[in-house]
Structure 1
Amino acid sequence: MKIPFDPLRLVPLVSAIFNGWGKTLRFEEHGDFGAIVEEGRQGKPYIFALWHGELFPLAAYAKRFDCRFAIIVSQSKDGELIARFLERNGHVAVRGSSSRGGVKALIQTKRLILKEKLIGGITVDGPRGPRHKAKDGVILLAQRTGAQIVPLRASVSRKKVFNSWDKFVVPYPFSKCHFHVGEPMDVTTDKLDKDVLRRERERLEKRLLALGSA
């Protein structure tokens, strides 16, 4: 007889493992993440932009700061697991992606950034890729909120790289991780037609890729 099992019941265990694992990592910061977080608390709008595959080490480092983020997560089943995990760790998960629920997610995240002074967070090539190709959402959200986009990257000395579309990186315990904080990027005030969106996406991609590689 097949026994049904709800994977969401694993969220508390996964969260505990992640937090314990993250504490073993040795981070070296390049930039001033703390200053940006503090300005975000004071109401200056920011959006952190990262690659989907580097989510683990970047989230582990951010955990060391007393801050809450508004993070856009897809409406897939996998997204539900991620959303529960984020909420358990004090963040706000906004459901939506480029393929489903995107407009509603942008509106909700805009409110959280401007009204509740949360910093936005977007895996800009998620939820399905292509890898290292930014989607329009982060550009749209930045213009509508007046937020600067802050590129974030992680370079890990010893890690497991999964054979997934995003080459998802999991650092081995006690690995050294370089945490890269890019210069905040202002988005154009021009009308975001197809050509302008492409130009802004490419500009963000170049900034992210210039920070290093995991």
Structure 2
Amino acid sequence: MKKLLRNTLRSSWFQRAAGFAAAEWLRFVWRTNRVTYEPGGFEALYDRVEGQFPAIFAFWHGQHFLTPFIKTKPTHKAKVLISLHRDGEFNAIAVERLGIGTIRGSGDHGSAFHRKGGVGAFKEMVRALDDNYNVALTADVPKRSRVVGLGIIMLARESGRPIMPFAMATSRYIQLRNWDRTTINLPFGRGAVVGVEEIYVPRDADAAALEHYRQKLEAFLNQATERAYALVGRPKGARHD
């Protein structure tokens, strides 16, 4: 029975069905939440951000489900980095149904970088930015939640494109007890999208400079997350104990 269940969960038809259901659920959640944008409201925020395209959009693991909806116009070209792990399959199907392209691989620059398709994914992200696509990815790497990895900093240095730290939150959600405290957003509440000052990484940045920008991005993402939860009336939701 366990083998049958495992094979079912890994089957292509189940992955497609799960991806379709996830996309439609997220669309429903997004449409039924009243969303606030900061800083300056929707038009001011997007006017500032669009002036920096193509850009690298950074967010935390576990806070990612609504991120496809930052793409608000058909002319916005975007791709998102998704793990090669089998759990990434239905995520890829879901985001593609929501109009976002996918890049498969790891953003981790640790020992498993080559094995997890990190080198190819890194090159593909650079090419996507060169082709005027925005690229979105989690800034923290698996099992090290809320700690920015160097991969996204190196991507900004290599591409010359800015990192746009942001957070999204809803007042109603379920938080799982896994390593990244995954947040499942729920409908019929309040939502918030918060952007923070963009980060440019110089092409000649050395190891010390890369660490400086890594810490800066970490601080900005924490700031955006805290503010997003405060805007929806759930300030304790920003905690990650």
TM-score by length of 1: 0.86
Post-superposition Cα deviations, 1:100-128, rounded to whole Å, max 9, x if no partner, equal 2112111111111112x1111011113x1
Decide which of 9, 21, 43 is 2:16's aligned counterpart. Answer: 9
Query: By how many angstroms is 1:208 displaced?
Result: 1.1
Query: By how many angstroms is 1:175 displaced?
Result: 1.4
C-alpha change, 1:131 and 1:199, in structure 2 (3 Å) is same
Corresponding letter in the other structure for 1:69: A
Residue aligning to 1:77: 86
**Is the Cα contact below 8 Å between 1:95 and 1:101 reproduced in 2?**
yes
Higher relative contact order (CA 8 A, sep 6+): 1
Residue aligning to 1:118: 133
**Is the Cα contact below 8 Å between 1:57 and 1:177 reproduced in 2?**
no
Tell whether 2:228 aligns with 1:212: no
SS at the partner of 2:225?
Answer: coil
Post-superposition Cα deviations, 1:46-105, rounded to whole Å, max 9, x if no partner, equal 11000012112333x425443331211111101122122222222121111123211211
Q: Kindly report which structure 2 residues correspond to 1:108-187, keeping only aligned pairs within 5 A, or say none.
A: 108-115=124-131, 117-126=132-141, 128-187=142-201
Post-superposition Cα deviations, 1:22-69, rounded to whole Å, max 9, x if no partner, equal 2111110003442255436xxx3311000012112333x425443331
C-alpha change, 1:90 and 1:58, in structure 2 (3 Å) is closer
Partner Cα separation in structure 2 for residue 49 and residue 62 of structure 1: 12
Structure 2: gaps spanning 5 or more residues? 227-237
Aligned length: 207
Tell whether 2:30 aligns with 1:22: yes
Partner Cα separation in structure 1 for residue 45 and residue 118 of structure 2: 28
Q: CA RMSD in A?
A: 2.1
Decide which of 36, 40, 56 is 1:47's aligned counterpart. Answer: 56
Residue aligning to 1:68: 77
Query: By how many angstroms is 1:190 displaced?
Result: 2.9
Partner Cα separation in structure 1 for residue 155 and residue 48 of structure 2: 18
Q: Percent identity?
A: 27
Partner Cα separation in structure 1 for residue 85 and residue 48 of structure 2: 31
SS at the partner of 2:136?
Answer: strand
**Is the Cα contact below 8 Å between 1:161 and 1:167 reproduced in 2?**
yes
Structure 1: gaps spanning 5 or more residues? none
TM-score by length of 2: 0.77
Partner Cα separation in structure 2 for residue 129 and residue 187 of structure 1: 25
